[in-house]
Structure 1
Amino acid sequence: MTCSSELAPSEVEAALGRLISKGYRFVHPRDTNGDLVTVVGVRMHEAVVDVVRLDAEDDVTATRMPYDEPNILEPKQVLWQRNGDMDRVVDELLELADDQFAEPIAPVRTGKGCWVPNGSGRAKWLQATA
């Protein structure tokens, strides 16, 4: 992830703080050398998962997908998505209502799971099956 001189660290921290205050959890995928590739925030709620990927302050992607999407980093089904600079994308993501673009699901189904470390500072989302 790169920093631009146009966006002060306090602005980056403020954007990340807003995401954290809304319940986003962050993972930091690394390459085979252990170098940070990106920062990924994930929030699972209702029948959807919101993912925000921060590659740089001017290269942010936010995506809303169904809760049962098998690969949240490369989803096959996208309900909503925005790309662009951090402030605009984070603002638009946080303005979404929790159920906006959500697909109706049976009331007994819930999107549960956890992040499981798989070595070298990496983690993988493991969907709960029971």
Structure 2
Amino acid sequence: MTMLAENPAGDLEAQLWALRGRGFRFLDPRDDQGEVVALVGVRAHHDVLDVVRLHSESDVVAARMPGDSDVLAPARVLWERAGAAREVLDAMLALPDDWVPRPAGGCR
């Protein structure tokens, strides 16, 4: 897979460095031939997990889930975006660290 090799340095690289600066740790799972299948970043904070999965420049998923979630199959997702890298990573970077949805019918 040449996902990152095809993308010139610029916005995506800057966004990945910004995520890393916020505490994301990245790994690159590989298939049986050793090819990268995705770039996955995870950050634990404020009793939540933030996860980004980059499969290609146009196929990115970012999510926030409770801290005790199974990142591969979360039972509950608090926030999620999917789409092109630039928009999805911008949305994750703009998400306040302490943001969690209010319970329905809760006090304001």
Q: TM-score range by the shorter chain?
A: 0.7 to 0.9
In the alignment, structure 2 segments of 5+ residues that lack a partner are 103-108
Question: In the TM superposition, what are the counterparts of 1:55-74 in structure 2 within 5 Å?
Answer: 55-69=55-69, 71-74=70-73
Q: CA RMSD in A?
A: 2.2
Q: 2:98 matched to 1:79?
A: no
Secondary structure of the residue aligned to 1:76 is: coil
**1:37-83 deviations in whole A, cap 9, x for unaligned?**
100011100110000000011111001000001x2022121110000
- What's 2:54 paired with? 54
Q: Rate the CA distance shift 1:4–1:29 in 2: closer, same or farther, 3 A.
A: closer
Letter of the 1:83 counterpart: A
**TM-score where L is the length of structure 2:** 0.82
After TM superposition, the structure 1 stretch with the greater mean CA deviation from structure 2, 51-60 or 8-17, is 8-17
**TM-score where L is the length of structure 1:** 0.69
Q: Distance between the aligned counterparts of 2:65 and 2:27, measured in 1?
A: 18
In the alignment, structure 1 segments of 5+ residues that lack a partner are 104-130
Q: Distance between the aligned counterparts of 2:47 and 2:97, measured in 1?
A: 9
Q: Distance between the aligned counterparts of 1:29 and 1:8, measured in 2?
A: 22
Q: Looking at secondary structure, tell me which structure has more strand per residue.
A: 1
Runs of 4 or more, structure 1, over 4 Å off, are none
Indicate the percent of aligned positions where both proteins have the same amino acid: 45
Secondary structure of the residue aligned to 2:10 is: helix
Q: Distance between the aligned counterparts of 1:10 and 1:73, measured in 2?
A: 29
Q: Distance between the aligned counterparts of 2:27 and 2:4, measured in 1?
A: 18
Q: Is the 8 A contact 1:26 1:42 kept in 2?
A: yes
Question: Deviation of residue 95 (structure 1)?
Answer: 1.1
Question: Deviation of residue 94 (structure 1)?
Answer: 1.2
- What's 1:97 paired with? 96
Q: Is the 8 A contact 1:47 1:102 kept in 2?
A: no
